[in-house]
Structure 1
Amino acid sequence: AGHILMSKRVAEDLAEYEEWRPLLHDLGTCEVKHGVKLQVVNLYSDEVGRRELPTKLQMQRRRTARMQWLLGVAALLAVAVLLVGIIMFSRNRSSSIQAAAEKSIAVLPFENLSEEKQNAYFADGVQDEILTNLAKIADLKVISRTSVMQYKSGVARNLRQIARELGVANILEGGVQRAGNRVRVSAQLLDARNDTHLWAEHYDRPLDDVFAIQSEIAKAIADQLRAKLSPSEKIAIERPPTADLAAFDLYTRAKTLTLQLSYIGAQAKDNVLQAIELLNQAVARDPNFLLAYCRLAYANDFLYIANLDHTPARRALADAAVQKILHLQPDSGEAHLALAQHLYSCYLDYDRASRELAIAQRMLPNSSQVFEVAGVMDRRRGRWEDSAHDFEKALQFDPHNVSFFHQMSVTYQCLRRYEQMAAVLDRAFELFPRDVATRQARARVDIEWHADTKPLHRAIEAILADDPSAAPLVANSWLYLALYERDLAAGDRALVALSGNPFVLSPNIYLNYAFAEGLVARMRGDTVAARAAFTAARAQQEEIVRSQPDYAVALSILGLIDAGLGRKDEALREGRRAIELLPVARDAFAGPDLIQLFSMICAWTGEKDLACDQLATAAQFPSYLLTYGRLRLLPFWDPLSGDPRFEKIVASLASKETVVK
């Protein structure tokens, strides 16, 4: 066998498993391609890998001036993760790996056995509460709800295959029947590796005992898997979430609506607003319902940070929910997580949020949401590698959460690391080949990377051929495509599909619908229609800025609208002020977008030198908006086309494989 070399980052992940630590041997810092330095670790034992120092590494240490060997090291590094994955998941004879898998479990959706099909949410709630209770046990690895919900009950399920897909050894499945004032719950635990039944039980109790049943099942599973249960974990499992079953049903329905949220599209906002309505009903019934308040805080935080409702009123609602959480159970893991999410989302208070998140991670050992919050927060802090790593960690607990793949791809797009962006989206596509968002995102890689619109064309055509009603879900990409290709007919169709919703320029920049109409009219050369649309857009945007004068994103968009209307002085003042309010040092994710919008404002108002200066500044930072394809294709940059400074910036963003025309 050859050497198994890996980066320090991968080695740190392996080192979390005690049985791997003796196999990891640090080789120190090595220089790889393009002068990048990495810490390299050699993995070996008597059975795998090689103990001696790699020959090429010996040569490098003797003659550092010679660089030929670096390609070999880089290649080894590139395949290391794959090799380690093969070792970890395919060497079933390894007792250490078997031991690590012994205490992993997925709780599949319980079957609704009630005659009333509306009780399906009740069955979902029973399953979710059992899963939530098990997830509080640090000695277990528990897969999050998002990843198990696709394995619907009532149909034949290949448990061995499901366990393999989720990376667990054990499966819990069951059924729930609610009849009058009684509830019947059946549950069985199986070792999916050998189809062995480990435990089964049937409960027939008064309906009010349902939470006690859930706690008993969780404790029985922990006992069967020989998981250590601390006194605090036992107390947490035995504490019922609420005494009001109707409130619990409302909470379960709301949680389902908010399991996977995307920054893109109106559907996310509609789902969250519907969830908030359900949660308000839940807490009205039970003012002490902690989990409902946590979900309520999360929903309001999301609307604020995602710029879907970035208003003082929305932040006040989030404030109120968090204050209630801290009043109810200030020392709970859920409270620390909710506070971390809130401090980040509404205040960009990274330091305090990080401290709260660290506490939450210790108290919620199986929470993928902890790593999700870390991922989005590290991105805004400019900790790009940490951000990608956070989402990989989240996927360990929630391996089929498609939003985590998309979030990771956003991080790689900002870094302009398109090969990794494509690889992440390929993983998502393999799991969800019919997912509309994933199909579009994968096709957009070729635009950002090579200014090639053909894959997105094919993706949109295929999506609409499969389901013509999916037009609203592709409207944003459709409008982008129309702008890229100066396709007026496609632009009109995209506006119809957009149906009054914002045009999402980036996860940070939402342009109102009237402004999108103005962009298409401007592309058509219809100056009268463009001016009318921009005027309507300005009235809407000015109202937002008037109520929030320090809202940098809104101010930047107002500047762009004013540039479209020829209000040069106002536009330049607004664009410059936006950059001052939210510099890159404060927000490494949104900050570069605002610099680029200011560059666009300058270009539209005839300040070409200033536009190129700002664009050159933006190009120094990781950025979602600043890609080769967007600069090359979008009509926004037509005023700079042919300018040597602009063309130099565009060329600097082109990959080696891209022929710059």
Structure 2
Amino acid sequence: MSSEPEQHPKVEIGHVLTMDVVEYSTLLITEQTRVMGELTSIVKNTERFQRGESEGNLVRIPTGDGMALVFFDDPQAPIECAMEIAGALKSHPEIGLRMGIHSGPVNAVVDVSDRANVAGAGIDMAQRVMDCGDAGHILLSKRVADDLAPFPRWNPLLHELGECEVKHGRKISLVNFYTDEIGNPALPQKCVAHGTKRTGDKISRPWPRDIAFIGTVILGIVIFTPVVFRIASRTGASSKTSKSARSSISVNTKSIAVLPFENLSRDPDNAYFADGIQEEILTRLSKIADLKVISRTSTQRYKGTPTNLLEIAKQLGVAHILEGTVQKAADQVRVNVQLINAQTDSHLWAEKFDRNLADIFAVESEIATKIADTLQTKLSGSEQKAIAARPTKNSEAHQLYLKGRYFLKKRTEEGLKKSIEFFNQAIDKDSGYALAYSGLADSNMYLLRLGFLRGVSRKETDERAKAAATKALELDDNLAEAHTSLALVKMEYEWDWTGSEREFQRAIQLDPGFAEAHHQYSHYLTAMGRSSESLTESLRALELDPLSLVLNAHLAWHYLYARQYDQAIQQCQKASELDRNYPETAEFRGLAYEQKGMYQEAIAELQTAINLSGGSPHMKAELGHAYAIAGETTQALDILNELKRGSTETHISSYDIAVIHVGLGRKERALEALENAYQERSEWLRYVRVDPRLDPLRGDPRFEKLADQIVPPDVK
């Protein structure tokens, strides 16, 4: 193979973030090494860097006193990354960093070390933009600012600086980006020196026609130009354009959110039916790989709220919205739906269906097919079959199943037990109803996971979940939900790691838009110590379900177990913006503070989590560990004794007891408790390889033997 460079190298549009440390050359060599190491760590730990790295849409170029990041998937990526970096640097005031952003042409080159790299006018211009700034500045070229200006998220933060003179007398138009928390609002000294008059004006929005033109051009470049560059660690990997790559200026046209259907029935008890029809249409659509479908958890937030469709579409990252109403009377049902282009607020399609209840599956299939046709999505033969499926011929069984799903979503002890009753009744009506068995498996798994085990053992509940999932797959091996349920049983109780991963991967293959499968698979990958893959799956789940409290909080948890504690705390802040009273957000923030040695902050957060949760024993054990390592032994022992007393009334995991003993430095008692947890098949033991609180035990032969029994080295 010839090593000569191409005559006409491929040119792409790169979205470039450059940065350097101000007065770096004045630092001592040892200080330069420390500062650059700290900066590199901060950059690599940002969510936006990791997403670009995992998708293969990022190149990092060291520049001696800084670096350049070239993103190929999203014009917003550089500013998102810059915000994360600036936020992390608030705890490192000794690092005076300035940043510059520009989008422009770049091309592949081979550097002096014979490695693939990039160069071009896009990088040169970003460097010039950055050179105009002082410490703390985040400066943008006018081109980038104009691209960001139409979006409410960015527009208030863009402040025009006018022109600044750079090398060879050339002038460039600059925009300063800052918030109340990050950035530098001062006029850059270079602009002052060249007589730039600061306007402070916000960037005006281009006319809609201009926006459409810019979006079309950039989207065309992003979608139709293959991404040929990779970070050095991925050099040689197979080149493919990420399916998720898209321009944020022109939203993916093959994307949709199905909003909650309004129940127009006179009987409010029919709410379960309207909810069920919405969910089943959404589920059919999610099986289409060519279509991005937002999960129900996120869309449910808009139930009964005034519909500013453009704002909803922006929040969910979609181009289209499906609205609907359902009216049920006896054995008759009326479904009204309308498909709307949220960007233009234009109705693309609307239809009314008056049918018998027995025909409801045909209605759902018609709606899904019409949406797929309207949005010009590609349907494989298996996808056509999936959206046309008729899960049962028994209308009564179907309504009982919908009631089961309705109560399953409540996630309360009473709701879960009611859901089991309804799923069993549905199975009595139709013993071949695979989805009802899948729902039964899910209900039993949540009883296990949430600890609602009054009068029943963990083993019995696990066996019920496994039997139901297995039966569902015997009836229909193409149910992603059942494969996910079986994967959870194998992961959480049986520790069958190979079998669990196989089931997760099959579920995602069958239903690429099933956020829960991606989310639970990320937990599996965390347990295996595959943190980079885990974060990728967690981010994919969040893309499909962006307003889910659980997914937003659990992304923080994945950062925590990847030992990226600052990122975990930042993500907890994002989750808090959705709901400040969600207990797991305070819990995960407390655990991250603990690992950073901020014990009093950790104790305060964990106390908040316990109060918000209604007294979770698991969170109390976490607080006991925090007290122990903070040297507050009396409080730790009080919690330990409280949990032991409570174990006579409810299940207390021996894993939680072990964690407190570890904090107290009681190694033998901790190991004894972990061995008890092994006998209990505690769900928390799957993280035995990665839980940072167990670090004091690592290397002990007794601990390592136990860990090998749970997660054998050859399966990681």
2:271 corresponds, among 120, 126, 134, to: 120
Is 1:380 the equivalent of 2:527?
Answer: yes
The aligned residue for residue 260 of structure 2 is 109
Give the 5 Å matches for 1:245-644: 245-259=395-409, 267=412, 269=413, 271-304=415-448, 309=453, 311-433=458-580, 435=582, 437-438=584-585, 441-442=588-589, 445-446=592-593, 449-451=596-598, 453=600, 474-475=610-611, 498=615, 502-505=617-620, 523=635, 536=645, 554=654, 557=657, 571=669, 574-575=672-673, 577=675, 589-591=687-689, 596=694
Relative to structure 1, the CA distance from residue 570 to residue 270 in structure 2 (aligned partners, 3 Å threshold; closer, same or farther) is farther
Give 1:368 shift: 0.7
The aligned residue for residue 16 of structure 2 is 3
Give 1:105 shift: 0.5
Secondary structure of the structure 2 residue equivalent to 1:51? strand
**What amino acid is the match of 1:103?**
K
**What amino acid is the match of 1:330?**
D
Is 1:51 the equivalent of 2:92?
Answer: no
Give 1:151 shift: 0.7
Is 1:199 the equivalent of 2:349?
Answer: yes
Secondary structure of the structure 2 residue equivalent to 1:400? coil
Relative to structure 1, the CA distance from residue 326 to residue 190 in structure 2 (aligned partners, 3 Å threshold; closer, same or farther) is same
The answer on whether the counterparts of 1:169 and 1:192 sit within 8 Å (CA) in structure 2 is: yes
Is 1:217 the equivalent of 2:367?
Answer: yes
The aligned residue for residue 208 of structure 1 is 358
- Distance in 1, Cα, partners of 2:677 & 2:542: 35
The answer on whether the counterparts of 1:596 and 1:614 sit within 8 Å (CA) in structure 2 is: no
The answer on whether the counterparts of 1:595 and 1:614 sit within 8 Å (CA) in structure 2 is: no
- Distance in 2, Cα, partners of 1:320 & 1:123: 30
TM-score by length of 2: 0.60
Secondary structure of the structure 1 residue equivalent to 2:560? helix
2:377 corresponds, among 227, 245, 268, to: 227
Give 1:444 shift: 6.5
The answer on whether the counterparts of 2:658 and 2:674 sit within 8 Å (CA) in structure 1 is: no
Relative to structure 1, the CA distance from residue 422 to residue 577 in structure 2 (aligned partners, 3 Å threshold; closer, same or farther) is closer
Give 1:140 shift: 1.1
**What amino acid is the match of 1:170?**
H
- Distance in 2, Cα, partners of 1:534 & 1:11: 44
Give 1:255 shift: 3.0
Give 1:449 shift: 3.5
Is 1:134 the equivalent of 2:175?
Answer: no
- Distance in 1, Cα, partners of 2:648 & 2:341: 62
TM-score by length of 1: 0.64
1:161 corresponds, among 311, 318, 329, to: 311
Relative to structure 1, the CA distance from residue 12 to residue 581 in structure 2 (aligned partners, 3 Å threshold; closer, same or farther) is same
- Distance in 1, Cα, partners of 2:255 & 2:635: 56
- Over the matched positions of the two proteins, sequence identity in percent amounts to 29
The answer on whether the counterparts of 1:105 and 1:142 sit within 8 Å (CA) in structure 2 is: yes
More helix by share: 1
Give 1:216 shift: 1.0
Relative to structure 1, the CA distance from residue 455 to residue 576 in structure 2 (aligned partners, 3 Å threshold; closer, same or farther) is closer
**What amino acid is the match of 2:424?**
N
**What amino acid is the match of 1:152?**
K
Secondary structure of the structure 2 residue equivalent to 1:150? helix
**What amino acid is the match of 1:117?**
P
2:336 corresponds, among 160, 175, 186, to: 186
- Distance in 1, Cα, partners of 2:611 & 2:69: 45
- Distance in 2, Cα, partners of 1:271 & 1:334: 19
Is 1:173 the equivalent of 2:323?
Answer: yes
Count matched residues.
516
Relative to structure 1, the CA distance from residue 557 to residue 308 in structure 2 (aligned partners, 3 Å threshold; closer, same or farther) is farther
Which segment is superposed worse, 304-313 or 568-577?
A: 568-577
- Distance in 1, Cα, partners of 2:74 & 2:513: 30
- Distance in 2, Cα, partners of 1:583 & 1:194: 54
Which segment is superposed worse, 246-255 or 210-219?
A: 246-255
Relative to structure 1, the CA distance from residue 592 to residue 432 in structure 2 (aligned partners, 3 Å threshold; closer, same or farther) is closer
- Distance in 1, Cα, partners of 2:139 & 2:561: 24
Relative to structure 1, the CA distance from residue 157 to residue 45 in structure 2 (aligned partners, 3 Å threshold; closer, same or farther) is closer
**What amino acid is the match of 1:475?**
N
Which segment is superposed worse, 234-243 or 142-151?
A: 234-243
Secondary structure of the structure 1 residue equivalent to 2:302? coil
**What amino acid is the match of 1:382?**
G
Give 1:420 shift: 0.5
CA shift digits 1:467-526 (9 cap, x unpaired):
xxxxxx74377xxxxxxxxxxxxxxxxxxx63xx6353568x999xxxxxxxx9965999
